[in-house]
Amino acid sequence: MNYFHLPLEEWTNRFVNQWLIPVLGGFFDSISNVVGAFISWVTNILTFIPPELMALILIFLAWRYAGVGIAIFTLIGSLYLGSVDLWFAAMQTLAIVIVATLFSIVIGIPIGIWSAKSPIVYAIVRPILDFMQTLPSFVYLIPAILLFGLGGVPAVISTFVFATPPAVRMTTLGIKQVPTDVVEAARAFGSTYWQMLTKVQLPMAVPTIMAGINQTIMLALSMAVIASMIGAPGLGSVVLAGISRVNVGLGLTGGLGIVVLAIVLDRITQGIGEKTK
């Protein structure tokens, strides 16, 4: 199969080292500063709130959207995170998940709407989403450092790449699933493009979009350990510390923290999705 030599390796290296970093380095630095400031702002808020109050807020949300069972689980989970001294780490992870999810939503949902409206956009976006979801994250993890520096920022960017596709896909699906008779009825009553979108299609798509956001959050959490390899603080780095020392106990302690966070976030966002049906 070796009919000709494809110098992809050299091209990529030359592109990154001679153009991307020297020419756009400053641009990426400023993105890095903004995102970094945003992450530390969210982290500061989450860690400034006393753990007891934060736990109460989470328990309330769990009770309100997911029922008594999950509220009790949230109480136990919070006590667990406190008692193994991982509350602070959990809030650091939560901050990165929140920031990455926000980016995914802000960028993913409009693209999802656009793809639903335009077959051409959909044809372009779809392979890009496949690419984002299947390209192993290790491939862009280290290059993300070259552009954004070590720490929470490349973690958020990598998480964004990995976690955005479901937000886009589910938004597209949700809008496409709105029954045609409803759309035609709305059109018959003379609704404009924007009215159609904001008053008919989006409201009916909300449960599907929420399912997409739920998936985005779960994928973002699943990046926590990988992201700690590029300097993201939080539960992931606890797990990494455990496994690199073959300290099984420490690894499990941190890993269970991620599980607690995941279940609580999953049930709450799922509940919000159900309630909006």
- Per CB under 8 A, residues contacting other proteins are 21-22, 25, 141-143, 145-147, 149-151, 228-231, 237-238, 240-245, 247, 250
Tell me how far CA of residue 130 lies from CA of 107, 109, 112, 135, in angstroms.
17, 17, 14, 8
Query: Is the CB of 90 or the CB of 113 nearer to other proteins?
Result: 90
Write the Ramachandran bin of 17: left for phi over 0, alpha for psi from -120 to 50, otherwise beta: alpha
Tell me 274's DSSP state. Answer: H
Indicate the residue among 105 and 240 with the shorter CB distance to other proteins: 240
CA–CA separation, 41 vs 196, rounded Å? 37
* Residue 194 CB, nearest approach to other proteins (Å): 44
Output the smallest distance, CB 107 to other proteins, in A. 25
Closer to other proteins by CB, 204 or 243: give it: 243
3-state secondary structure of 260: helix
CB nearer other proteins, residue 26 or residue 50: 26
Whole-number minimum distance, CB 153 to other proteins, in Å? 11
- State the Cα–Cα distance between residues 64 and 55, nearest whole angstrom: 14
Shortest Cβ 228–other proteins spacing (Å):
7
Q: Which is nearer to other proteins, 212 or 234 (CB)?
A: 234
CB of 84 to other proteins, least distance (A): 16
State the Cα–Cα distance between residues 68 and 59, nearest whole angstrom.
Answer: 9
> Alpha-carbon distance 19 to 275, whole Å?
49
Q: Minimum Å distance from CB 263 to other proteins?
A: 25
Which positions ≥6 away from 42 have C-beta within 8 Å? Answer: 95, 98, 99
Secondary-structure percent of the chain, ordered helix, strand, coil, rounded to 5: 85, 0, 15
156 vs 250, which CB is nearer to other proteins? 250
User: 269: which DSSP letter?
Assistant: H
Task: Work out how close the CB of 21 gets to other proteins at its nearest, in angstroms, rounded to a whole number.
Answer: 6
3-state secondary structure 66-94: HCHHHHHHHHHHHHHHHHCCCHHHHHHHH
- How far is it, in rounded angstroms, from Cα 207 to Cα 271? 10
- When the beta carbons of 166 and 236 are compared against other proteins, the nearer one is 236
